[in-house]
Amino acid sequence: NRFHQLESLHEQLNQIQMQAFSLELDKSGYWAKPKIQFIAPSVQPLALINLQHTVQSVGLGLHFPIEKRPYRPHVTLQRKVNAPSVPLFQPNITCEFNTFSLYESVSGATGVKYIKRQTYPCAN
């Protein structure tokens, strides 16, 4: 049942040996179909790629629906943008990660809300 599936998910995510990593958000972009303006890394650290693959494997093993689009880490700056605005500057933001979190996306009348359900520490 759903409760046991979520319990197994939590147990397996808690076992992931994530390595801390830095992520440099150094490019801006626009996705026309969802009308989203964003910033993103030009290079994905190996630790992030490994974490994404591991989490996806856990989800597949527990029969959760998996996103079919390629994984593209980003930070959304604006939603429902008809045309991208010209960036005033080239982004150059470095983020340090030593945890990862499980979120639930909930669609509502005012849009999607992301609710943090659990945070997991890194291995080091």
**What is the per-residue pLDDT across 69-114, written as a single tens digit (0 to 9) for each?**
999 999 999 888 998 877 767 899 999 999 999 999 999 998 889 9
Residue 54 has pLDDT above 70, yes or no: yes
Domains of the chain with CATH codes = 2-121 (3.90.1140.10)
Instruction: Provide the pLDDT confidence category of residue 29 given band limits of 50, 70 and 90.
Output: very high
Q: In Å, how far from its chain's centre is CA 81?
A: 21
Q: Compute the distance between CA of residue 89 and CA of residue 78 in angstroms, rounded to an integer.
A: 16
Q: Compute the distance between CA of residue 112 and CA of residue 96 in angstroms, rounded to an integer.
A: 26
Residue with tokens 């509502």: 108
Please answer whether residues 107 and 60 qualify as being in contact, where contact means their C-beta atoms are separated by less than 8 angstroms. no
pTM: 0.88
| Helix/strand/coil percent split, the chain, to 5 | 25, 35, 40
Q: What is the CA radius of gyration of the chain?
A: 16
Q: What is the pLDDT of residue 124?
A: 63
Residues with Cβ within 8 Å of residue 1, at least 6 apart in sequence:
none
Please answer whether residues 63 and 5 qualify as being in contact, where contact means their C-beta atoms are separated by less than 8 angstroms. yes
Please answer whether residues 21 and 48 qualify as being in contact, where contact means their C-beta atoms are separated by less than 8 angstroms. yes
Element (H, E) at 75: strand 75-78
Average pLDDT over residues 38-53: 97
The DSSP secondary-structure symbol of 121 reads E
Q: What is the pLDDT of residue 89?
A: 78
Q: What is the pLDDT of residue 98?
A: 96
Residue 68 has pLDDT above 80, yes or no: yes
